Amino acid sequence: MAVCGDVQLFVCALTALPLLVVGCATSVVQTAELAPNAAPDCSVRGALVLPSDGPFGDERETVSALVGDSYSAGQGPGLYVTARDAFRVYLNGELVTVSRAARAPLFVPLTLLPGDNALAVVVAAESGTPAALLQLDELEQSTVSDATWKVSTAPLPGFTDFDFDDSSWPVAQDFGALGALPGCDPGAPFEASSPAHWIGPENGSGSVAVLRKVIRIRALGYGQSTTGGFGAALTFVDSWAEFSSAASDPDAPAVILLGEGVHDFRDTPRDQNVCPAVCENDASKSQYVVLTTGQTCAEPTVTKPRYARRIALGSNKTVVGLGRGAQLRGVTFDFGASQNSIVRNVALYDVNRELIEAGDAFSLDQARQIWIDHATTKWISDGFTDISAGSQNITLSWLHYDGVTNHECEGQHTRASMITDSTVTFAHCFFDHVQTHAPSVRGALARVHLFNNVIGDDLGYGVSAECGARVLLEGNTFQRVATPTVRSTCADDTLLGLIDAPSGSNSYTDVGPHRGGNGQEPHDAVFEPPYEYRVGGAKDEWRTVSARAGAGGPWAQPLVAD
- Which tens digit of pLDDT belongs to each residue from 106-128? 999 999 999 999 999 999 888 78
Q: How confident is the model at residue 101, as a pLDDT?
A: 82
Helices (H) and strands (E) in the chain, counts: 2, 39
Distance CA 318, CA 377 (A): 19
Q: How confident is the model at residue 56, as a pLDDT?
A: 77
Contact 514, 521 (CB under 8 A): yes
Q: Say whether the peptide bond before residue 524 is cis (omega within 30 degrees of 0).
A: no
Strands of 78-177 (E only): list them.
Answer: 78-84, 86-91, 94-99, 106-109, 115-124, 131-137, 142-144, 150-152, 173-177
Residue 142 is which amino acid?
S
The angle formed by the CA atoms of residues 373, 375 and 381, to the nearest 5 degrees, is 135
Q: How confident is the model at residue 38, as a pLDDT?
A: 65
Q: How confident is the model at residue 492, as a pLDDT?
A: 83
- The 3-state DSSP class for residue 55 equals helix
Distance CA 415, CA 245 (A): 31
268-272 — which CB contacts under 8 Å span 24+ positions? Answer: 269/305, 269/306, 269/307, 270/305, 270/306, 270/308, 271/303, 271/304, 271/305, 271/306, 272/303, 272/304, 272/305, 272/306, 272/355, 272/358
Q: Which residues contact 558 (CB under 8 A, 6 or more apart)?
A: none
Q: Which residues pair with 286 in a beta bridge?
A: 278
Q: Say whether the peptide bond before residue 439 is cis (omega within 30 degrees of 0).
A: yes
Distance CA 522, CA 437 (A): 17
Contact 118, 2 (CB under 8 A): no
pLDDT in tens, 250-306: 999 999 999 999 999 999 999 999 999 999 888 888 999 999 888 899 889 999 999
Instruction: Indicate the burial class of 298 (C-beta count within 10 angstroms; 0-12, 13-18, 19 or more).
Output: exposed
Domains of the chain: 54-216 (2.60.120), 232-268+311-553 (2.160.20.10)
Q: Which residues contact 144 (CB under 8 A, 6 or more apart)?
A: 22, 26, 28, 134, 135, 136, 194, 195, 196, 197
274-279 — which CB contacts under 8 Å span 24+ positions? Answer: 274/301, 274/302, 274/303, 274/304, 274/355, 275/299, 275/301, 276/301, 276/302, 279/409
Q: Say whether the peptide bond before residue 189 is cis (omega within 30 degrees of 0).
A: yes
Written as tens digits, the pLDDT of the chain (562 aa) is 433 333 333 333 333 333 443 333 333 333 333 344 467 877 765 556 777 766 677 667 789 999 999 999 999 999 999 998 889 999 999 999 998 887 889 999 999 999 999 999 999 888 788 999 999 999 998 999 999 999 999 999 999 999 999 999 999 999 999 888 888 888 889 988 999 999 999 876 668 999 999 999 999 999 999 999 999 999 999 999 999 999 999 999 999 999 999 999 999 999 999 999 999 888 888 999 999 888 899 889 999 999 999 999 999 999 999 999 999 999 999 999 999 999 999 999 999 999 999 999 999 999 999 999 999 999 999 999 999 999 999 999 999 999 999 999 999 999 999 999 999 999 999 999 999 999 999 999 999 999 999 999 999 999 999 999 999 999 999 999 999 999 999 988 889 999 999 999 999 999 999 999 889 999 999 999 999 999 999 999 999 999 999 999 999 999 999 8
DSSP structural state of residue 535: P
- The 3-state DSSP class for residue 222 equals helix
Could you write out the DSSP letters of every residue in 225-294? Answer: T--TTTTSPEEEE-SHHHHHHHHH-SS--EEEEE-SEEEE-----EEEEEEEEEETTEEEEEEEEPPPTT
Q: How confident is the model at residue 48, as a pLDDT?
A: 66
